[in-house]
Structure 1
């Protein structure tokens, strides 16, 4: 029996922990009959989901590789297809796990394309997703939208867009594709994880034996930037958006290395991001319909509460409230990053000089030998 498990997120539910832990332990897991792609990135949102998108040029992978011509891009996609078919075709028994939280964004037609791609290699396809409290998820998604801002927009307008886009219809699409019995939905509640571990809970939810003899690393990542960090990022993105003309903005510093910048923002921020989300009558009704969809897939014990309408507005982080101390800490964190890479550069220059001198000495010695031979 060959089973494919598609871990489809959701966002901010420990996906990076699961991805990095399983990917780094892929060799040991293979001995237990659990196959995970051994190559990086372990987040398959980049190199798996893109294969089924109707417009793959909207993917993060395309933006990362830009500028790239059509021929080179098609060659890249073909290499990815061969890489995945090579992995799938080598499986004779057991379970293969693919983890990509952006699989939740696929349309019905795109999911059908995915099934046509994987079905020849597996007897069964299952999907698993973790879901956070919708209010906490909305806050996290708004922060993610701040990070991925495509064009300058104020915080309130961005929040309205986040409220409208956030939804759970993808659960219905995936249920239609894999069948209700093969769709596993888990509430993301660390206090209720099996054995107190997200990874143990993941294996337990899938009825897979937890590999007790394998040291799987619980990776902490995707942490909040904090209130000051989000407020600062809003201002920065309004002037230097992350993307421009479908590619990374060449005027944006660290645009291709945002993880380093976010690392500095997190370290500089001492105040956590805390927002009391408010909804008007229309927003509350729309949000509660989404909660209703989600609760269809959860037990009464795990069901989420609805929200109440309010005449108040959500108080969002503002750059006007950022204290001077934050800028001091941020500049210092960035300076330390510069120091780290400057030290690496100095070491490379010194090593290059040493190797050049060795090469020159070897060439001189060879020249002397040739002269003596004559």
Structure 2
């Protein structure tokens, strides 16, 4: 029976590592094929454009001046690429996109219809992360990407299980939506890629696993949070968000423990989302509402996060040199980081001007430029 597995995340469950490991593998055997769209192993952007007409802000900037006809032509190009990905040589196809919960039920039904042209069944697959660890991880992700992130108000990082998953039950039928608890401690080798492959019987060597994430220690996050708290208040511009990502790449070099939130911080937010957790626990057949135990170094207040450790200051002093005085105030740290960031920005711009853009991005920019030059139909 020909099958398409539609992997939808959920976000913060090792999705990028699954996509990178399977999408970049030279072979998954004779039976399995991983679908890549527009040279991207994460097919969210292509599928959102095909079925919702939604493009990312970065894509919108590249497409300045596009006519509606050119936008439609690009959607049709991507749809044709999706259909052509299904061949006669394989029996099982894997298509992955963790932002597909942004599609409406009718749009997901259109996706199901498109996939069903080529296979006998479509199964939706997702890992479900516990609410407490989701809040911790989602807060860090918002910090690293420039999204609003306030330690004193974590309402915007609640998991919202029902809003994410109920639409898939309705569009694909509940029996076709398979949910697994995200419990890395119980995975083969404690690795989500190996667990995913084990569940689907995909032949995959552990040595081929690609870890694809931007982990930042609590010391790195403290510096990032301080910088955003004092220098990047309010709504961030697109350039501000690029700056935050640029800083994040540098701060990954600071070694140390992961950021953990104390149970006293998490408890009121879990109470806020109790009904949503109960819905998911019934749906999943597994508990996701447990509070973590007390852990050394867990953050209890914003002041804990803003308290820079000697390790963080030593790393920053070595990186910035004379730009940072001894025993600096928070304001002095932020001023020094701002100067540092200006240098990083200039360096990145020079690399781009000298042809330092990655080949895939260069090819993509060339294709988009060619599409802009296409005459109206």
SS at match of 1:161: helix
Residue 127 (structure 1) aligned with residue 133 (structure 2): no
SS at match of 2:92: strand
Match of 1:219 in 2: 210
SS at match of 1:6: strand
Alpha-carbon offset, residue 329 of structure 1: 5.0
Alpha-carbon offset, residue 135 of structure 1: 0.4
235-244 vs 281-290, which deviates more?
235-244
Query: What RMSD in Å do the two structures reach over aligned CA positions?
Result: 4.0
| C-alpha distance in 2 between matches for 1:155 and 1:280 | 11
SS at match of 2:146: coil
Match of 2:83 in 1: 85
Equivalent residue runs for 1:28-177 within 5 Å: 28-29=27-28, 31-37=30-36, 40-53=39-52, 56-57=54-55, 59=56, 62=59, 65=62, 67=64, 69-71=66-68, 72-88=70-86, 90-91=87-88, 93-150=90-147, 154-157=150-153, 159-163=154-158, 166-177=160-171
| C-alpha distance in 1 between matches for 2:32 and 2:117 | 19
Residue 296 (structure 1) aligned with residue 311 (structure 2): no
**Structure (1 or 2) with the larger CA radius of gyration:** 1
| C-alpha distance in 2 between matches for 1:148 and 1:252 | 6
1:327 to 316, 341, 357: 316
| C-alpha distance in 2 between matches for 1:241 and 1:40 | 36
Alpha-carbon offset, residue 112 of structure 1: 2.1
Alpha-carbon offset, residue 8 of structure 1: 0.6
Match of 2:224 in 1: 233
| C-alpha distance in 2 between matches for 1:225 and 1:337 | 18
130-139 vs 227-236, which deviates more?
227-236
184-193 vs 4-13, which deviates more?
184-193
CA distance 1:18–1:201, shift in 2 (3 Å): same
Match of 1:210 in 2: 202
Q: Provide the aligned length of Structure 1 versus Structure 2.
A: 327
CA distance 1:282–1:125, shift in 2 (3 Å): same
Deviations 1:161-215 (A, max 9, x none): 223x633432222122223332221112223224655334213333xx3315x67
Deviations 1:289-337 (A, max 9, x none): 12212212333xx4234559xxxx9523667422422423554898998
Give ranges in structure 2 of 5+ residues lacking alignment.
Answer: 293-298, 322-336, 357-377
TM-score normalised over the length of structure 1: 0.71
CA distance 1:10–1:253, shift in 2 (3 Å): closer
| C-alpha distance in 2 between matches for 1:281 and 1:199 | 31
2:136–2:261 contact (8 Å) kept in structure 1: yes
| C-alpha distance in 1 between matches for 2:190 and 2:269 | 36
1:21–1:216 contact (8 Å) kept in structure 2: no
TM-score normalised over the length of structure 2: 0.71
| C-alpha distance in 2 between matches for 1:217 and 1:317 | 42
Alpha-carbon offset, residue 343 of structure 1: 12
Alpha-carbon offset, residue 12 of structure 1: 1.8
Match of 2:19 in 1: 19
Alpha-carbon offset, residue 286 of structure 1: 3.0
Deviations 1:328-349 (A, max 9, x none): 35548989989x989989x989
SS at match of 1:211: coil
SS at match of 1:128: strand
1:6–1:127 contact (8 Å) kept in structure 2: yes
| C-alpha distance in 2 between matches for 1:193 and 1:229 | 28
